[in-house]
């Protein structure tokens, strides 16, 4: 993987050129490489060997404490030690001012080695980043700083048992804590009561404290809350209370673990039902979870989305790296496992030795599919990270364009790897055959772990509604036009390269088909007609984006004839021969606004 | 499910008409229904409630004995008690002379309730059926009869650690046991030495004995074996030796459990590495596993295929029933889970109650997809079973045609549900969202269990080679022509029905495209060119067959307007709108003999 990462970062995305910008002036390819080397080593030594342990020794709750394997504690201690939690932060805050692109690339090693153990760190980073954007200076100094240092970890608490995808229906309440609630140096102080479900990292003893970011509703003077997402506000709810200097006061906050969820995979990350304000503890003398408001009342979802967009790209990257881990495991297996003989006349000699399975066409097809999914997925994730860097450090015009591109690419960066790198994991199992179905090999765990990614951080269906219902139509389609502009540039360049002209034409055709389907979906202007087939639209859109990425990568190796370049070219050819043609079937239902699923009635099932 | 089963058996396949045939003269819809009722009840009471137990309490080997949950013992005792093991056998052998179609339908209840617990019974039936076809009268009386009565269970031992899909490379040896080896009443007696891998039901104490059917090679006088599958012979190797009256002699045979495989799913069925002839036991005074030859030397694979074809349809049906179980679970969940609001203007009122998720278009899409996969898959499995009945009891001409149809449909009946009912299970998880990812709901187990079905009984790739490399070209394409003939009859009938004419045209087009791709794949006559894309061919072929099945089912409800009929019609519409168009992408690589996967080199990965 390191070769591919280097190729993507330096040959394709040219991240070394970022040193021309003031924020990254202290950096160079050498400093980037040093970070990558360190992370690769820690992931190899402290994470990968214990990924199965984290799966087999599932978190256990004894009623008081949650127990995790010692190796999980050790791995995260090494991660904290590396300073990666603060890698993208300012020098003056103890950070490295690393570009997000390089930070994401470095974190990819941890996701590949153990996505579940890495989960705690990703959540903590996202949480602290949100506070850097929306918190007060004191909230940043107390909570964010202690998260960046790894002294505390963080969570995001959105879902509730009765409100998963529907945040409108969040029922957790936050009441001002006394008449002087507004005078607390940590922020306006509230008492929260409610239940939060699916909270990753919601309880553990890896760190001395846990910083929960919680969406809740503040009732009006009539005791009622504003219905819908407009009523949501955001709160910091620490597991243990702290003073404005960031020291634990010794008081336990009134938030407690109701139970752990027992999952199909991703078992190394605790996943919790948390009770807020049930009265089990009495911080500051009474029941109710103490929470400090972040941002204005009613502004909670907007603040949280700051974290969710980042989290969505991170989820996509996690899915990619699970796919990558399976690809490498199945490739290694195929290179050493003899089985069967060629289909040629020579293969009829049963006395001849068996061949390695990597020489069978169908095995190569399954490996090529994985390669196209995982390397393409990694490229897309890093491309999105590069857009974030552009948004933060580029020219004003470039920043605006990057923002538009991110709007439309985020649902793809999240959903596409969740679907296709899961398929990659299934293909990895298939390459190993019966052995792949056993727990003696790692591929079955990757497949189980990866199944979460189409569900959390906005399900596949939610991403589809976001894409077709919002992103491609917002501002008169500006974001879609920005993407189309970039794709057309690639088409133009590739059109002039002999070996890529056919692919360029195919990509132009796909882009045109997606554009036409977008228009036809919305031809009647009725959301329920347009969006009935949002998921097939998401799939077709994703495959078109990935075809674009692969043409970009093929252009980046143009003129080279080494093995790595041949491999990229083969993966691009694979994608155009086997994958891109699939979009016709997906788009056909979108463009005719196929009414079947709307017409279907409950009683007919 | 029962409604759909009744519809398929009586309305579509008209199995009640089989009572006109002498073999089934004692039967009627009433006797069939009684069998279905009994099996449905036993599966509901003894299997379904313990399916999770069988998963959580994985088989455990203490070095001497294998431990299974008591509920697995109880379930199989109830199954044995039902007489279903011998259901299809002659009255005079204690059977019911039940048509295979009804037997399969009845067994479907067990697969749905617990595919892994049901596995022991399916293997035992297949094993005993093989002996009825190829064993001596004594072998039938001693081994098959005791399997049909459920006193002993059976296995099939093909794979070895170094030879999974490649049976040519089986290395287990069978040497004649002394000079009088040919005088044993149980059959020519040999001593077997070797290792057999992936043996389902290979060890347990559910029954007092286990009858292994083992492929091995008999060395010539020079000590060498014939390379390839031609050297394979078949042997009965009982775990405990028995006398010609079927009584245990008290001697343990020299076959022992080397270890259990620890699997991703399907955990209720033990899966074993067995050592034959390692000298742990000394039956009849010396080391070596005692085995009795079945059929002629070198005829082992032909005999075994008798069992494998049946087993392949059985595997397909198992995959279908896992899909069905997930469909029912996710449908029930969608009918009671409120979440979100309509996309219409009314949905903007966040104060209004949430709607049930079954009212969301994307949820209906996922349920319809499952419905089309699992009901279509069930129909195909029963159609194949009906062909077997035709082969055995139809007119000579009908039997020949049924045989041809089975040749070409068996790879589809095995592979199609393995792929698409696995996808159904993934969609079931998705419908449940986060809850589907937990072990508190059954759908994650179905998905894990189902992942085995693309691997065992001939992998997906092996099925694809069988279909494109053998079945569609054998006898000048006779089998393919038989299938095309039946599909064209359906097209003709549907073409005259207003609501189905468009689908009929689409099916005719798909059939034509598959036929054309078959020819183009073989245009150069080079197997490695034709077969490089055998798997996409298998997928396109499978979807075409399933489109045909759905058009058949839509014709079977023509004129009806009740809910069930509307449901079948909707599933047919779903399949033609969302699924059938996929074949174009699969066939495009087949018909141009896309060379990419052959050209791909190891070093390029």
- H helices present in B433-477, as ranges: 443-450, 460-466
Q: Is B188 within 8 Å of B244 (Cβ atoms)?
A: no
* Chain B interface, best mutation among A423, A600, A601, A602, by max B CB count within 10 A: A600
pLDDT band of B398, cuts 50, 70, 90: very high
Q: Are residues A225 and A322 in the same domain?
A: no
Long-range contacts of B341-345 (CB under 8 A, 24+ apart): B341/A166, B341/A168, B342/A528, B343/A469, B343/A527, B343/A528, B343/A531, B344/A527, B344/A528
Spell out the residues 6+ positions from residue A512 whose beta carbon is closer than 8 angstroms to its own. none
Q: Are residues B133 and B194 in the same domain?
A: no
| Residues of A with Cβ-Cβ distance to B603 under 8 angstroms | 563, 566
| Residues of A with Cβ-Cβ distance to B447 under 8 angstroms | 264, 451
Q: Which residues pair with A276 in a beta bridge?
A: A194, A255
Query: What CATH number is attached to the domain comprising B106?
Result: 1.10.540.10
Whether the predicted pLDDT of A250 surpasses 80: yes
Spell out the residues 6+ positions from residue B39 whose beta carbon is closer than 8 angstroms to its own. B82, B84, B106, B107, B109, B110
In a domain, A324, yes or no: yes
Distance spanning both ends of chain B, measured CA to CA: 46
Share of chain A above pLDDT 90, in %: 93
Of A234, A264, A298, the last residue of a domain is: A298
DSSP-assigned states of every residue in A536-569: HHHHHHHHHHHHHHHHHHHHHTTT--SHHHHHHH
Q: Out of B264, B335, B594, name the one closest to residue A602 (CB).
A: B335
State the burial class of residue A93 (Cβ atoms within 10 Å of its Cβ: 0-12, 13-18, 19+).
Answer: middle
Q: Helix, strand, or coil here: A457?
A: coil
Q: Which residues pair with B238 in a beta bridge?
A: B211
In a domain, B215, yes or no: yes
Residue A526 lies in domain: 459-605
**CA closest to B562 among chain A residues:** A604
Rounded mean pLDDT of A248-266? 97
Q: Is A543 within 8 Å of A580 (Cβ atoms)?
A: yes
What is the rounded CA–CA span in Å between residue A586 and residue A40? 39
Q: How far is CA A367 from the centre of its chain?
A: 24
Q: Are residues B78 and B188 in the same domain?
A: no
In a domain, B522, yes or no: yes
B600 close contact with A: CB closer than 8 A: yes
Nearest CA to B467 among A362, A254, A37? A362
Whether the predicted pLDDT of B346 surpasses 90: no
Rounded mean pLDDT of A410-422? 98
In a domain, B306, yes or no: yes
| Residues of B with Cβ-Cβ distance to A355 under 8 angstroms | none
In a domain, A285, yes or no: yes
| Residues of B with Cβ-Cβ distance to A364 under 8 angstroms | 597-598, 600
| Residues of B with Cβ-Cβ distance to A159 under 8 angstroms | 434
Whether the predicted pLDDT of A258 surpasses 80: yes
Q: Is B448 within 8 Å of A437 (Cβ atoms)?
A: no
Nearest CA to A48 among A115, A121, A122? A115
Asked if A604 and B340 come within 8 Å (Cβ–Cβ), the reply is no
Token output for A212: 């929960």
- How many domains in chain B? 4
State the burial class of residue B395 (Cβ atoms within 10 Å of its Cβ: 0-12, 13-18, 19+).
Answer: exposed
The sign of the dihedral angle between the CA atoms of A82, A88, A90, A91 is positive
Rounded mean pLDDT of B222-248? 94
What is the rounded CA–CA span in Å between residue B112 and residue B107? 9
Asked if A570 and B460 come within 8 Å (Cβ–Cβ), the reply is no
pLDDT band of B166, cuts 50, 70, 90: confident
Q: Is A554 within 8 Å of A569 (Cβ atoms)?
A: yes
Q: Out of B159, B197, B581, name the one closest to residue A588 (CB).
A: B581
Residue count of chain A: 605
Whether the predicted pLDDT of B472 surpasses 90: yes
Spell out the residues 6+ positions from residue A20 whose beta carbon is closer than 8 angstroms to its own. none
Residue count of chain B: 605
In a domain, A158, yes or no: yes
How many beta-carbon pairs under 8 angstroms link A with B? 259
| Residues of B with Cβ-Cβ distance to A197 under 8 angstroms | 434
Q: Is A500 within 8 Å of A546 (Cβ atoms)?
A: no
Q: Helix, strand, or coil here: A109?
A: helix
pLDDT in tens, A472-523: 999 999 999 999 999 999 999 999 999 999 999 999 999 999 999 999 999 9
What is the rounded CA–CA span in Å between residue A417 and residue A543? 11
What is the structure's pLDDT at B201? 97
What is the structure's pLDDT at A351? 86
Whether the predicted pLDDT of A360 surpasses 80: yes
Nearest CA to B286 among B253, B256, B258? B253
Q: How many CA atoms lie within 13 A of B237 on its CB side?
A: 36
Asked if B437 and A455 come within 8 Å (Cβ–Cβ), the reply is yes
What is the rounded CA–CA span in Å between residue A153 and residue A278? 23
Whether the predicted pLDDT of A308 surpasses 80: no
Of A411, A427, A458, the last residue of a domain is: A458
What is the rounded CA–CA span in Å between residue B173 and residue B233? 10
| Backbone phi, psi, residue A452, to 5° | -70, -30
Q: Are residues A354 and A273 in the same domain?
A: no
Query: What CATH number is attached to the domain comprising A229?
Result: 2.40.110.20
Rounded mean pLDDT of B495-501? 96
Q: Are residues A260 and A306 in the same domain?
A: no
Q: How many CB atoms lie within 10 A of CB A6?
A: 17
What is the structure's pLDDT at A228? 87
pLDDT band of A166, cuts 50, 70, 90: confident
Rounded mean pLDDT of A250-256? 97
Asked if B604 and A361 come within 8 Å (Cβ–Cβ), the reply is no
Q: Is B239 within 8 Å of B202 (Cβ atoms)?
A: no
Asked if B350 and A227 come within 8 Å (Cβ–Cβ), the reply is yes
Share of chain B above pLDDT 70, in %: 100
Active-site hit among A401, A457, A552, A591: A457
Asked if A454 and B563 come within 8 Å (Cβ–Cβ), the reply is no
Share of chain B above pLDDT 90, in %: 93
Q: Are residues B11 and B111 in the same domain?
A: yes
Query: What CATH number is attached to the domain comprising B419?
Result: 1.20.140.10
Selected residues 421-450 of chain A with any CB under 8 Å from a CB in chain B: 426, 429-430, 433-434, 436-440, 444, 447-448
Nearest CA to A592 among B507, B581, B509, B348? B581
CA distance B60 to chain A (A): 15
In a domain, A109, yes or no: yes
Token output for A367: 């490996």
What is the structure's pLDDT at A227? 87
Q: Is B273 within 8 Å of B259 (Cβ atoms)?
A: yes
Q: Is B408 within 8 Å of B479 (Cβ atoms)?
A: yes
Active-site hit among B147, B390, B457, B552: B457
In a domain, B149, yes or no: no
What is the structure's pLDDT at A305? 84
E strands along B281-371, which residues?
A: 289-294
Q: Which residues pair with B272 in a beta bridge?
A: B199, B260
What percent of chain B is helix, strand and coil (3-state, nearest 5)? Answer: 65, 10, 25
Tell me the CA distances in angstroms from B588 to A393, A504, A542, A543, A587, one per residue in order: 45, 18, 21, 17, 18
Q: Which residues pair with B176 in a beta bridge?
A: B190
* Chain A interface, best mutation among B4, B224, B324, B361, by max A CB count within 10 A: B361
What is the structure's pLDDT at A35? 97
Whether the predicted pLDDT of A564 surpasses 90: yes
Q: Is A536 within 8 Å of A505 (Cβ atoms)?
A: no
Q: Are residues A87 and A176 in the same domain?
A: no
Number of continuous H segments (helices) and E segments (strands) in chain A: 19, 12
Tell me the CA distances in angstroms from A434 to B204, B317, B415, one per residue in order: 21, 20, 16
Q: Are residues A270 and A394 in the same domain?
A: no
Nearest CA to B578 among A539, A339, A353, A417? A539
Nearest CA to A559 among A490, A504, A488, A496? A496
Q: Are residues B82 and B133 in the same domain?
A: yes
Of A143, A178, A213, the last residue of a domain is: A143
Whether the predicted pLDDT of B306 surpasses 80: no
Q: Are residues B180 and B229 in the same domain?
A: yes
Selected residues 149-168 of chain B with any CB under 8 Å from a CB in chain A: 159, 162-166, 168
E strand or H helix that includes residue A443 = helix A443-450
pLDDT in tens, B221-231: 899 998 888 89
What is the rounded CA–CA span in Å between residue B374 and residue B115? 15
Radius of gyration of chain A (CA): 25
Rounded mean pLDDT of A325-353? 92
pLDDT in tens, B512-570: 999 999 999 999 999 999 999 999 999 999 999 999 999 999 999 999 999 999 999 99
Selected residues 167-206 of chain B with any CB under 8 Å from a CB in chain A: 168-169, 197-198
What is the rounded CA–CA span in Å between residue B581 and residue B168? 39
Rounded mean pLDDT of B131-158? 97
pLDDT band of B31, cuts 50, 70, 90: very high
pLDDT-wise least confident of A412-416, B47-51, B182-186, B342-346 = B342-346
| Residues of A with Cβ-Cβ distance to B227 under 8 angstroms | 349-351
Q: Are residues A305 and A276 in the same domain?
A: no
Rounded mean pLDDT of A148-154? 97
Q: Are residues A22 and A129 in the same domain?
A: yes
Tell me the CA distances in angstroms from A172 to A42, A283, B166, B370, one per residue in order: 40, 18, 60, 35
| Residues of B with Cβ-Cβ distance to A261 under 8 angstroms | 434, 438, 440
Task: Quote ipTM for the complex.
Answer: 0.97
- H helices present in A283-395, as ranges: 300-336, 361-393
A457 annotated active-site = yes
Rounded mean pLDDT of B201-208? 97
Mean pLDDT of chain B: 96
What is the rounded CA–CA span in Å between residue B547 and residue B174? 47
* Chain B interface, best mutation among A341, A359, A604, by max B CB count within 10 A: A604
Spell out the residues 6+ positions from residue B222 whose beta carbon is closer than 8 angstroms to its own. none
pLDDT band of A415, cuts 50, 70, 90: very high
């Amino acid at each position: 993987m390191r070769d591919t990462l280097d190729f993507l970062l330096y040959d394709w995305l040219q991240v070394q050129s970022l040193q021309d910008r003031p924020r990254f002036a202290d950096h160079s390819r050498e400093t980037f490489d040093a970070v990558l080397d360190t992370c690769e080593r820690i992931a190899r030594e402290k994470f990968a060997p214990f990924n199965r342990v984290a799966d087999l020794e599932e978190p256990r709750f004894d009623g008081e404490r949650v127990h995790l394997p010692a190796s999980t504690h050790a791995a995260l201690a090494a991660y904290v030690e590396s300073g990666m939690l603060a890698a993208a932060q300012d020098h003056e805050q103890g950070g490295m001012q690393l570009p997000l692109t390089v930070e994401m690339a470095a974190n990819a090693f941890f996701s590949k080695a153990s996505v579940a153990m890495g989960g705690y760190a990703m959540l903590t980073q996202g949480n602290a980043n949100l506070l850097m954007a929306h918190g007060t200076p004191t909230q940043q100094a107390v909570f964010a700083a202690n998260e960046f240092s790894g002294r505390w970890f963080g969570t995001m608490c959105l879902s509730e048992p009765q409100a998963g995808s529907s945040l409108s229906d969040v029922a957790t309440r936050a009441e001002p804590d006394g008449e002087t609630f507004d005078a607390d140096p940590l922020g306006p102080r509230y008492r929260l009561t409610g239940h939060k479900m699916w909270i990753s990292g919601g309880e553990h003893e890896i760190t001395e404290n846990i910083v929960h970011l919680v969406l809740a509703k503040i009732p009006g003077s009539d005791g009622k809350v504003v219905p819908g997402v407009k009523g949501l506000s955001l709160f910091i709810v620490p597991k243990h209370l702290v003073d404005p200097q960031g020291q634990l006061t010794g008081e336990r906050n009134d938030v407690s673990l109701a139970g752990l969820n027992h999952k199909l995979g991703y078992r190394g990350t605790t996943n919790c039902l948390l009770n807020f304000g049930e009265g089990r503890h009495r911080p500051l003398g009474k029941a109710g979870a103490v929470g400090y408001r972040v941002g204005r009342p009613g502004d909670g979802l907007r603040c949280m989305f700051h974290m969710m967009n980042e989290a969505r790209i991170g989820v996509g990257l996690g899915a990619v790296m699970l796919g990558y881990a399976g690809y490498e495991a199945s490739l290694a297996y195929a290179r050493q496992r003899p089985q069967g003989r060629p289909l040629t006349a020579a293969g009829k000699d049963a006395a001849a030795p068996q061949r390695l399975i990597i020489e069978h066409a169908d095995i190569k097809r399954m490996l090529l599919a994985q390669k196209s999914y995982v390397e393409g997925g990694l490229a897309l994730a890093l491309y999105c990270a590069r857009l974030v860097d552009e948004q933060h450090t580029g020219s004003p015009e470039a920043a605006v364009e990057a923002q538009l591109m991110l709007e439309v690419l985020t649902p793809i960066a999240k959903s596409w790897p969740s679907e296709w790198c899961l398929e990659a994991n299934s293909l990895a199992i298939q390459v190993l055959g019966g052995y792949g179905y056993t727990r003696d090999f790692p591929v079955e765990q990757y497949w189980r772990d990866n199944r979460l990614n189409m569900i959390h951080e906005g399900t596949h269906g939610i991403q589809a509604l976001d894409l077709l219902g919002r992103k491609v139509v917002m501002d008169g389609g500006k974001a879609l036009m920005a993407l189309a502009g970039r794709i057309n540039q690639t088409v133009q360049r590739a059109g002039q390269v002999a070996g890529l002209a056919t692919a360029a034409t195919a990509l132009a055709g796909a882009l045109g088909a997606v554009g036409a389907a977008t228009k036809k979906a919305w031809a009647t202007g009725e959301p329920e007609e347009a969006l009935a087939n949002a998921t097939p639209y998401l799939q077709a859109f994703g495959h078109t984006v990935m075809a674009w990425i692969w043409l970009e990568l093929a252009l980046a190796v143009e003129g080279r004839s080494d093995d790595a370049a041949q491999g990229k070219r083969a993966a691009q050819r694979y994608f155009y021969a086997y994958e891109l043609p699939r979009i016709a079937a997906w788009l056909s239902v979108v463009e005719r606004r196929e009414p079947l699923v709307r017409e279907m009635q409950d009683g007919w099932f």
